[in-house]
Amino acid sequence: MPYDPSAFPPFAVTVDLVVLTVRRHALCALAVRRGEPPFQGRWALPGGFVRADEDLSQAAARELAEETGLCAHDPSAPVQDNGAHLEQLATYGDPKRDPRMRVVSVAHLALAPDLPAPRAGGDASNARWAPVEELLQQSGYGRDGEPVAPLAFDHAQILADGVERARSKIEYSSLATAFCPSEFTVGELRRVYEAVWGVALDPRNFHRKVTGTPGFLVPTGGTTTRQGGRPAQLFRAGGATLLNPPMLRPEV
């Protein structure tokens, strides 16, 4: 391995972000509209170049803060304040994934509670939360009647991988609490699972499971009635990060 720079090909390295949240009972991802070619006008995942003196996780946290204002958690720490969970997802380096040059993108996955409104450098029209189902469909029309175009680059694949990671990870970890505000009810947590998995769960069995798993939830003592119906106990995320035995995702 000589120092001669001609001995290896130069790459551009970027981070792309799959930022997920749950809004109106649907799993949504943050998308930004591209302002320049290639794929001008198309939706894409937020991201940018890694700077010369930055670690990959630093770059991802910086991009996340620039796009959403969220500050990232250390992935090993339990989710407790309203910062987002951030972890590395996978790296995409097909030689043709960017027509301009050789770009290797280190994708990261962020999970955030429902946020007021996206801001892409202050320009709200160029960023939005979209249901992942809508972003992943190849073509057709969205729920607002607008025509839908596929995501730019290989971002549909990255988004699909991120969604799959989130779906499987909430099975055996307490990560679903990252979608909730700092205090939440069992019902709100259940609706997170239902939105991410796209299934209906039995409220009684879910309640038994999450309250019976030591360290998963700690009661705050308060109650709320913001969902209507009988007041529900408020909880915050406990210290446990791994669920053992896991939460079982229903078949099919």
Query: Which structure tokens are listed for 195?
Result: 């939105």
The answer to whether residue 96 forms part of the interface with DNA (CB under 7 A) is no
Among 6, 9, 147, 250, binds a second copy (CB under 8 A): 9
Q: Which is nearer to a second copy, 90 or 240 (CB)?
A: 90
Residues in region 34-53 near a second copy by CB under 8 A: 36, 49-53
Q: Which is nearer to a second copy, 36 or 81 (CB)?
A: 36
Beta bridge partners of residue 89, listed in sequence order: none
198 binds, among DNA, a second copy, none (CB under 5 to 8 A by kind): none
Query: Which structure tokens are listed for 212?
Result: 């019976």
The answer to whether residue 26 forms part of the interface with a second copy (CB under 8 A) is no
216 binds, among a second copy, DNA, none (CB under 5 to 8 A by kind): none
**Considering the complex, what minimum distance in angstroms separates the CB of residue 4 from a second copy?**
11
Q: Which is nearer to DNA, 75 or 187 (CB)?
A: 187
Residues in the interface with DNA (CB under 7 A) total: 26
Among 185, 195, 197, 216, binds DNA (CB under 7 A): 185
Distance CA 79, CA 217 (A): 11
* One-letter identity of residue 252: V
Phi, psi of 223 (to 5 degrees): -135, 165
The answer to whether residue 248 forms part of the interface with DNA (CB under 7 A) is yes
Among 41, 69, 93, 121, binds a second copy (CB under 8 A): 93
Distance CA 238, CA 236 (A): 6
Burial 127-159 (b: 16+ CB within 10 A, else e): bbbbbbebbbeeeeeeeeeeebeebbbbbbbbb
Q: Are 111 and 105 in contact, with CB atoms under 8 Å apart?
A: no
The answer to whether residue 3 forms part of the interface with a second copy (CB under 8 A) is yes
Mapped onto helix, strand or coil, the DSSP state of residue 128 is: strand
The answer to whether residue 238 forms part of the interface with DNA (CB under 7 A) is no
Q: Are 185 and 233 in contact, with CB atoms under 8 Å apart?
A: yes
Distance CA 132, CA 156 (A): 10
**Distance (Å) of CA 62 to CA 50, 65, 225:** 10, 5, 37
Give CA 163 to chain center in angstroms.
Answer: 7
229 binds, among DNA, a second copy, none (CB under 5 to 8 A by kind): DNA
The answer to whether residue 141 forms part of the interface with a second copy (CB under 8 A) is no
Residues that bind a second copy (CB under 8 A): 1, 3, 5, 7-13, 36, 49-56, 88, 90-95, 100-102, 104, 106
Residues that bind DNA (CB under 7 A): 185-188, 190, 202-205, 207-209, 211-212, 225, 227-233, 245, 247-248, 250
